Amino acid sequence: MESLGSWVWLALPGAAVLGVWCAALSLAYARHIAEGFAIDGATLCAALRVVTQGRGGWAVPWPLGLVCACLLALACLPFIWQPSLLTAARFVACAVLLVLAVIDIRCGLLPDALTLPLLWAGLLLSWAGFGVALHDAVAAAAAGYAFLRGTNILFQAWRGYPGMGGGDMKLLAALGAWLGWAWLPQGLLAACLVGVLFAVLRRSANGRHRPLAFGPFLAFAGAYGLLGGPVVQFLF
């Protein structure tokens, strides 16, 4: 327990600071997109330089900073409880999901510069023997992308406009690579149910219907799939 306590004191503050840093990176990227920058890796690197060099990049509203710090502190608990390459990789994946969620809330997009590396990281971990089996990861990534792509094609044929962006499809494919086939139905169902509930509550509150970013709900469903069991075990 003494070693566990030292891990808590060392890791939790660092994870909380990283959460605020992720929020700052997301907001810097969103500002660049609003200024007309291209949606690519170069813009993400430019936002990273702004935050790293401290040129006004850490101007994060305190509610957002507090939420992001708490979320990454929770994501760090499995690594504290059982340090390993897999728990460390899943913590990093949750940090990427947090950045994606904030960017999608602010910009309504999920950049390939984050979703595709997340996808390949999940596949490479499976290939190296960590997490789900490689055939499971590949099948889940393909099925996740194909399901949302097919759903969007049908929706566009029915309504005349797309119902979601390609970033959502790539994010679900990436989560499938990390979590495998068995997670896809429950994860997608949880994200859809929470998203629909949030949309209904928001519309009843302001009486208007606006497009809703689906990426944050996918991201948090994926984060819970990665860490939900270990976090609950640690807390209780």
* SS3 state of residue 54: coil
pTM: 0.92
All structural domains of the chain with their residue ranges = 2-235
Alpha helices by DSSP H, 35-182:
41-53, 62-81, 85-107, 112-127, 134-159, 166-179
pLDDT (tens digit per residue) in 130-177 = 999 999 999 999 999 999 999 999 988 888 888 888 899 999 999 999
Chain centre to alpha carbon of residue 192:
15
Positive or negative: CA dihedral 193, 204, 110, 98: negative
For the segment 29-51, what is each residue's pLDDT rounded down to a tens digit? Answer: 999 999 999 999 999 999 999 89
Phi, psi for residue 86 in degrees, rounded to 5: -65, -45
Find, among 117, 112, 102, 118, the residue nearest to 29 by Cα. Answer: 102
| Count of C-beta atoms within a 10 Å radius of residue 53 | 9
Q: What backbone phi and psi angles, to 5 degrees, belong to 74?
A: -65, -40
